[in-house]
């Protein structure tokens, strides 16, 4: 387990919380407390507010670099630099219910230009209108298209996957589906940022309770209930922590200690390494779920570490 900057040293101690991280986390929690809990609002209302710039992370910023396309019948948002060295299939978060590919334009444009990847961000179908398996089916379809046509389309056969929160779960499920259903095991690597890898509930999820810091116990239940029936939540296609993780590429796993999904990342890292794969786990003391969206040094450090990982594939 490593960190990018000495000020975040020794994350295993879980002690030295950067003052800036603590300050912004407190602000975020206070801001969330001013409104009704997310799980009490209709998804269409939340979506409309976010599109109007009233979301938790502020107004949306659209990149002029982005091009909207459709691959395998699925809408995607593409960012293509000159002479890409690889393709990065990005999957956005939002509890399988919220968000969109265009919500990540600044970061995806940065990855395209700074890391040299053609970024393809997937606009998968959202629950509750389209529950499981709609979202993973859409991601699988785009990944299969990239495997078949990526070299001709982008000039490179190197493909990496990645996502945040629910998007990390979908990215990993996509990798496993390509391996197990289609015999493809050639992905260069996978970037998993504060992902949900056990929808049956890891200890950190179960113990989190009602505290509302981007996620809360009731909000996670709301997301899970809308996405998939409880009877399926230990299926590896839903909770990849239960999957066979052997013979997989290098993984970059990022999470903060003040995240109910902390154990999802800790456990996945342990299983990834035990299966004989390379992995890096970066844990940021005091950082909440979604911390990479905050204007703090911890977010900059996490982005820099992820950039280095993608450049090194």
Alpha carbon 241 to its chain's center: 15
Alpha carbon 203 to its chain's center: 20
| Residue tagged active-site, from 212, 259, 264, 282 | 259
> Rounded to an integer, what distance in angstroms lies between the CA atom of residue 52 and that of residue 49?
5
> Rounded to an integer, what distance in angstroms lies between the CA atom of residue 176 and that of residue 172?
6
| Residue tagged active-site, from 63, 165, 204, 216 | 165
Question: Which candidate, 80, 250, 63, places its Cα nearest to that of 150?
Answer: 80
Would residue 63 show up in a list of annotated catalytic residues for this protein? no
Would residue 216 show up in a list of annotated catalytic residues for this protein? no
Tokens of 275: 């299966």
Radius of gyration of the CA atoms of the chain, in A: 18
Whether the Cβ atoms of residue 92 and residue 121 lie closer than 8 Å to each other:
yes
> Rounded to an integer, what distance in angstroms lies between the CA atom of residue 268 and that of residue 170?
14
| Overall size of the chain counted in residues | 313
| Residue tagged active-site, from 39, 90, 104, 289 | 289
Would residue 138 show up in a list of annotated catalytic residues for this protein? no
> Rounded to an integer, what distance in angstroms lies between the CA atom of residue 41 and that of residue 141?
31
In order of 286, 292, 295, the CA distances from 24 in angstroms are 10, 12, 8
Residue ranges of E strands in 23-137: 67-71, 74-79, 86-91, 117-122
Whether the Cβ atoms of residue 290 and residue 255 lie closer than 8 Å to each other:
no
The angle formed by the CA atoms of residues 75, 80 and 83, to the nearest 5 degrees, is: 145
Residues 6+ positions from 186 with CB-CB distance below 8 Å: 147, 157, 159
Q: Which residues belong to the active site?
A: 165, 259, 289
């Amino acid at each position: 387990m490593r960190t990018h900057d000495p000020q975040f040293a020794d994350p295993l101690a879980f002690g030295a919380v950067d003052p800036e991280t603590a300050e912004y986390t407190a602000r975020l929690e206070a801001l969330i407390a001013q409104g009704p809990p997310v799980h009490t609002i209709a998804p269409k209302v939340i979506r409309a507010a976010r599109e109007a710039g009233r979301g938790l992370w502020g107004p949306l910023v659209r990149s002029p670099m982005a091009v909207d396309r459709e691959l395998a019948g699925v809408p995607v948002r593409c960012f293509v630099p000159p002479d890409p060295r690889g393709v990065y299939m990005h999957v956005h978060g939002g509890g399988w219910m919220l968000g969109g590919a265009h919500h990540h334009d600044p970061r995806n444009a940065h990855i395209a230009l700074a890391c040299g990847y053609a970024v393809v961000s997937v606009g998968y179908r959202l629950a509750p209108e389209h529950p499981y398996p709609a979202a993973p089916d859409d991601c699988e379809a785009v990944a299969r298209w990239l495997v078949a046509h990526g070299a001709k389309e982008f000039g490179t056969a190197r493909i990496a996957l990645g996502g945040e929160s629910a998007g990390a779960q979908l990215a990993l499920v996509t990798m496993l589906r390509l391996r197990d259903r289609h015999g493809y095991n050639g992905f260069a690597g996978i970037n998993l940022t504060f992902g949900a890898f056990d929808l049956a509930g890891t200890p950190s999820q179960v113990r989190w309770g009602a505290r509302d810091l981007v996620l809360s116990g009731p909000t996670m239940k709301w997301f899970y209930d809308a996405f998939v029936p409880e009877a399926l939540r230990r299926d590896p296609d839903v909770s990849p922590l239960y999957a066979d993780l052997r013979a997989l590429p290098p993984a970059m796993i990022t999470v903060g200690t003040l995240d109910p999904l902390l154990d999802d990342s800790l456990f996945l890292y342990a299983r990834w390494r035990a299966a004989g794969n390379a992995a890096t786990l970066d844990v940021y003391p005091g950082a909440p779920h979604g911390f990479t969206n905050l204007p703090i040094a911890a977010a900059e450090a996490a982005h820099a570490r992820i950039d280095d990982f993608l450049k090194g594939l």
